[in-house]
Amino acid sequence: MAAVTQGRVALRHRLAERGIDRQLLLLGPALLFVVTLFIYPFFYGIGLSFQPEQGGPLAAYRSFFSDAYERGTLTTTLGLSLPVALLNVGASVPIAYRMRGRFRGKRLLTTLLVVPITLGTVLTAQGLLNFLGPTGWFNRTLMSAGLTDEPVRLTHNYWGVFFSLVITGFPFAFLLVLSYLSGIDPTLEKAAATLGAGWAQRFRRITLPLLAPGLATTFCLTFVLAFSVFPSAVLVGDPAGETRVISIAAWHAGYEQYDYPKASAIAVVMGLVELAVIAAVLGWRSLLYTGSTGGKG
């Protein structure tokens, strides 16, 4: 009995030396959850994309790329997601930079900026239709002031989806940028100020390089969120025309044509494009700055 106990203790010590202990068992439920809901469906979809009923294993991919109408959804989706991600990140930086310090009303202002998170895509789309639609207050105001003779078309087109993605995506970008800025040691800027550096110099030479990794991460997350747009493209866009994004093409293939291999192939293409953009952004980040981040940033 003593020998068995000693053997167990020795085994436990050997595992501990390799960083393996009982606490790792706590990862079991989380790992099972990830495998069941993410990893297995991911690889199942990849396998399904190579199993069309006819035409060989790559027939689903050829069907997508050979059809200009289907292939154009890639350009449409990138044309929406990239500008939205750039705008959300770019607008977040000056606002978050100003809100690092303490001032009266900061908590209220922060709450107002992140309220769109609670609205959801459908409610946001409904608000855009009511405010920016042909009979909304915006167009009524323009026509009442004599600035236009007919309503300005801001919904059921590119701009409707664009505004919806900005409204729903900005709070995430703002909170992330604010957290990264809060992690940068403020004494670095104070030291530069004592040496005579102006605001622009301090931001360009200290804050921005330290913030670059955080900006890259924020851009990637915001881009992925916008690239997977579906409800907004239907509710405030033109799903059969200028806002027929790639997610709509996947849905059409899977639930209207019942061509699941093609739908899976389109989903794989979506993932590959997202990975390519993320890789390019992270590569730019490594070229821009490779030093210490000085905190969360």
Give me the amino acid identity at 147: L
Q: Are 244 and 76 in contact (CB under 8 A)?
A: yes
Q: What is the pLDDT of residue 183?
A: 84
Q: What is the pLDDT of residue 296?
A: 43
The four Cα atoms 101, 104, 108, 114 give a dihedral, to 10 degrees, of -20
Q: Exposed e or buried b for every residue in 154-165, given b needs 16+ CB within 10 A?
A: bbbebbbbbbbb
Residue 55 tokens read as: 């035409």
Tens of pLDDT, residues 9-35: 565 666 666 666 667 677 788 888 888
Residue with tokens 């399904």: 48
Q: What is the CA radius of gyration of the chain?
A: 25
Q: What is the pLDDT of residue 255?
A: 93
Q: What is the pLDDT of residue 5?
A: 62
Closest CA to 266 of 22, 100, 52: 52
**Which pTM value belongs to this model?**
0.84
Tens of pLDDT, residues 171-225: 999 999 998 888 887 788 878 888 788 878 888 888 888 888 889 999 999 999 9
Residue with tokens 């040691």: 185
SS3 of the chain: helix, strand, coil, percent, to 5:
75, 0, 25
- How distant is the alpha carbon of residue 219 from its chain centre? 7
Average pLDDT over residues 75-82: 96
Q: Are 233 and 125 in contact (CB under 8 A)?
A: no
* Mean predicted lDDT score pLDDT of the chain: 86
Query: CB under 8 Å, gap of 24 or more: what pairs does 133-136 form?
Result: none
Query: Quick one: what percent of the chain has pLDDT higher than 70?
Result: 88
Which residues, including other chains, have CB under 8 Å from residue 5's CB and lie 6 or more apart? none
